[in-house]
Structure 1
Amino acid sequence: MNGISLFLRLVAASLRGQARYPASAMLLTLSQFLATGIEVVAIWALFDRFGEVQGWRIGEVALFYGLVNVMFALADALGRGFDVLGTEFLRTGAFDRLLLRPRSLALQLMGHDLRISRLGRLLQGGIVLLFASAQAPIAWTPAHLALALFAIAGGVALFLGILVLQGTLAFWTVESLELANVFTYGGVEAGQYPMALYARWFRRLLTFVVPLACVAYYPGLAILGRADPLGAPAWVGWLSPLAGFAFLALSFGAWRLGVRHYASTGS
C-alpha cells in the first residue's frame, strides 16, 4: 500500500468513526460556523460604522478574511494529530506503535483524526470569499483563480508547519504548549486585516518569521489589482506563497530532530 492510499484509508476510518454520532458531528460543525461567524459580524459592524479603515473597504478585507480562514480550516483538519501528539501519543506510549509501522510518521498523524467540524470554518470562509467577490473589484481571471488556489495551498502549508512545530515541542515538554496558538489562532486573527494596518515590527514578524503576509496579504493585493501601500512590487504576490512551503519544510526538519530525541515512556 503506497502512502496516498494509506492516508486515504486512515481518513476514511476517522470519518466513519465520527459518522457514528451524526448529531454530535453536525452540532460541532454548526458551532464552528457560528463561533467564527461572530468575527464576521464584528468586522461588518466596524465597516458599517466607519465605511473604510485607512483606505481599505469591507470587500477588500473580506478577501483576506476568507483566504486565511479557508487556509486554517484545511490545515487544522490535517494537523490534528500533531496538535494532540503529547497527550494522546507521547504520554501513553502509543507513539511507539507509530514508529513500528513502515510508513511516514507525518502521514500517520495527518490521517489520525480528520475532524468533520472544521467544515464549519471552511464553509464560512468560502461564503466570505463569495461576498468579497461581490463587494470588491475582483476580476476572477484564470490567472487570479490559480493564484488564489496557490495562496491557499501555501497557507495550508504554513499553518500545518506551525502545528508540526507545536507537536515537535511536545518531545521535550511532553504535552503540547498553548504558545503555538499565538501563531495559529492569533495568526488567523492578524491575517484577516491588511498588513499595512500594523506596526513595522509586527509586519516584519508576519513576513520573515511566520510568513503569513506572504500567503495572504501579498497574493490578496495581486488578486485585487491593488498596489501595496508599503511599496512591495506587484510581482511579489505571485511568488510569495512559496514561503509557506519553505516554512513547512523547515518545520519538518525540526520534527525529524524531535523524533531522534524521543526516548519512549519506558512502560
Structure 2
Amino acid sequence: MSVYFKYLLIHFKSQMQYRTSFWLLSLGQFFIPFSVFAGLYFLFERFGQIKGWGFFEVALCFAVIHMAFSISECFARGFDSFSDLIIKGDFDRVLVRPRSTFVQVLGSKFEFTRAGRLLQSVMVLIWALSSLPIEWTITKIATLVLMMTSGVFIFTGIYMLAATMCFWTVQGLEVANIFTDGGREMAQYPLNIYHKWVARFFTYVIPFGTVNYLPLQYILGKTQGSDLMYMVTPALGSLFILPCFFVWQFGVRHYRSTGS
C-alpha cells in the first residue's frame, strides 16, 4: 500500500500544477449531479411521494449512491481507463514490475476533481439527515458508513470486470456503463419502485440494493422482521469485489503480450 499512496501523492501534485483547471473541473463536477437532484426535487414537489417514500428519504438514498460513485471514480479510475494501457502496450511494463498488477493499475490514474461531485452529495446527505426524524444509534451510524463503503466496492468491482474484458476486446466496452452510470441512476431511488425482476437483479447480481434500499429501511425504521438482516447487507454487498478480483486475476494470467 505504500506504493499506492506514492502513486496518490504523485498524481495529486501533477494535477495541482494547473490549479485553475483543477478548480474549474471540480466546480463542473459539483453541478453535474445538481441538475439530477433538481429533477428529483421537482418530481416530489409535483407528486409528494413515490410508493410511500418521501423526498428526504429518497434524498438520503441519492446522497449515499452518489457519494460511493464519486469516491470510486476518484480512486478506481485506473481500471475505468485500463484500455489505454492495453492499446499502448504499457501493461507489459506493469507485468515485469515486482508489485501487484492490481495495485499498479489502481494507482495508474486518479480523478481528484470528483471532489466537486462528492461535496454536492455530502451537502444533500447533511440536508436529508437533518430533516429526517431518525433516532441515531451506534449500529445505525455504522450501517450508514458501511452503505457508502459497500457502494465504493461494488462500483470498483464493476470497473474491474470491464477492465478484464479489455484482455480479449482490447477496447473498453460501453456496455459497462449500463452497470456504472445506469446502476447509479437506478439505485438513487428505492428499488421497490421498479419491477420485481429489476429489483432482484440489482440485489442478487449487481448488489446495489445492499448499498441503500435494504439498509436504508433499517435506518428509517421500516424493517419487517429481524433488523440484523438489514444491518449486515452492506457488508455482504462488499463481498461483490472478491469474485471481480478473481476474474481480474484470470484475465491477467491469460493476457498475451504485444510482443513489442
| Superposition TM-score tier, normalisation by shorter sequence | over 0.9
- Name the SS of the counterpart of 2:227 in structure 1: coil
Asked whether the equivalents of residues 223 and 230 of structure 2 are also in contact (C-alpha less than 8 Å), the reply is no
- Name the SS of the counterpart of 1:91 in structure 2: helix
Equivalent-residue separation in structure 2 for 1:140 and 1:11 (angstroms):
35
**Match of residue 231 from structure 2:** 238
**Match of residue 174 from structure 1:** 170
Deviation at residue 263 of structure 1 after TM alignment: 0.7
Deviation at residue 210 of structure 1 after TM alignment: 0.2
The structure 1 residue matched to 2:34, chosen from 37, 59, 68, is 37
- 1:170-205 residue CA offsets vs partner (Å, 9 max, x unmatched): 111101111111011111111111111010110111
Letter in 2 for 1:248: I
| Equivalent runs, 1:81-230 vs 2, <5 Å | 81-87=78-84, 89-227=85-223
Gaps of 5+ in 1: none
Letter in 2 for 1:243: L
**Match of residue 248 from structure 1:** 241
- Name the SS of the counterpart of 2:177 in structure 1: helix
Asked whether the equivalents of residues 72 and 159 of structure 1 are also in contact (C-alpha less than 8 Å), the reply is yes
The structure 2 residue matched to 1:263, chosen from 239, 256, 259, is 256
- Name the SS of the counterpart of 2:212 in structure 1: helix
Letter in 1 for 2:22: A
Asked whether the equivalents of residues 165 and 254 of structure 1 are also in contact (C-alpha less than 8 Å), the reply is yes
| 2:13 pairs with 1:20 | no
Gaps of 5+ in 2: none
Deviation at residue 221 of structure 1 after TM alignment: 1.2
The structure 1 residue matched to 2:56, chosen from 54, 59, 75, is 59
Of residues 105-114 and 91-100 in structure 1, the stretch that sits farther from structure 2 once superposed is 105-114
Letter in 2 for 1:138: I
Equivalent-residue separation in structure 2 for 1:225 and 1:108 (angstroms):
43
Letter in 2 for 1:44: Y
Deviation at residue 236 of structure 1 after TM alignment: 2.2
- 1:226-248 residue CA offsets vs partner (Å, 9 max, x unmatched): 136xxx75322211112332210
What is the TM-score with the length of structure 1 in the denominator?
A: 0.94
| 2:68 pairs with 1:71 | yes
- Name the SS of the counterpart of 1:56 in structure 2: coil
Deviation at residue 266 of structure 1 after TM alignment: 1.8
Equivalent-residue separation in structure 2 for 1:216 and 1:55 (angstroms):
16
Deviation at residue 109 of structure 1 after TM alignment: 1.5
- 1:56-78 residue CA offsets vs partner (Å, 9 max, x unmatched): 10010011111101111111112
Q: Provide closer, same or farther for how the CA distance between residues 227 and 245 of structure 1 changes in structure 2, counting only shifts above 3 A.
A: closer
Deviation at residue 261 of structure 1 after TM alignment: 1.3
Deviation at residue 139 of structure 1 after TM alignment: 2.5
